[in-house]
């Protein structure tokens, strides 16, 4: 969705919708079904009537857990505020203040691209379950492999490995 960013803020406009996860080309999800809900609100804030944009994004995305490599659902809850600067040079100068992000005025600003940028910034660098769910092969792999300690015990006692006894 393209908007005139300054006009959007000056007129206090609002826009909302859903963006399909499959359309977020820079987000890698093993299950790109579903969508994120977003809402954008423009306003003139403070005594100086500074144009600002508020963006709220809500939903969840399926990511790959970096520990177990299984799918995991990641909640997305974004509430970002942006100051609108008249040009790129002013935006760069104002962006030194970390309290609010700055966007340069654009007559054809891509709101969906901003949603995607904010989602990417909200994602964890290395997504992981708090506790990974047990996989189908977790028990089977452990049962098939001989214990390295049983092999050491067999060497120490002089018995052949795999005679069923544990050691002293």
Domain map (residue ranges) of the chain: 2-122, 137-168
Q: What is the mean pLDDT of the chain?
A: 86
Query: Which tokens belong to 60?
Result: 């969840």
Q: What is the tens place of the pLDDT at every residue in 7-66?
A: 999 999 999 999 999 999 999 999 999 999 999 999 999 898 999 999 999 999 999 999
Query: Which tokens belong to 101?
Result: 């992000």
85-122 residues labelled b (16+ CB within 10 A) or e (exposed): beeeeebeebeeeeeebbbbbeeebebeebbbebbeee
Query: At 31, which helix (H) or strand (E)?
Result: none
Q: What is the pTM of this model?
A: 0.75
The 3-state DSSP class for residue 69 equals coil
d(CA 144, CA 126) in angstroms, rounded, equals 31
């Amino acid at each position: 969705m393209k908007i005139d960013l300054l006009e959007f803020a000056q007129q206090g406009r609002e826009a909302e919708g859903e963006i399909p996860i499959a359309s977020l080309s820079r987000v890698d999800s093993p299950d790109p079904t579903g969508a994120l809900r977003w809402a954008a609100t423009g306003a003139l804030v403070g005594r100086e009537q500074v144009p600002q944009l508020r963006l709220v994004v809500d939903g969840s995305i399926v990511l790959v857990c970096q520990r177990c490599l299984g799918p995991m659902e990641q909640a997305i809850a974004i509430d970002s505020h942006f100051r609108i600067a008249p040009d790129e040079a002013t935006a760069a100068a104002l962006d030194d203040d970390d309290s609010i992000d700055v966007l340069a005025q654009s007559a054809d600003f891509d709101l969906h691209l901003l949603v995607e940028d904010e989602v990417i910034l909200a994602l964890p660098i290395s997504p992981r379950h708090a506790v990974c769910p047990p996989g189908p092969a977790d028990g089977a792999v452990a049962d098939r492999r001989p214990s390295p300690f049983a092999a050491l015990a067999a060497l120490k006692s002089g018995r052949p490995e795999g005679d069923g006894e544990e050691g002293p």
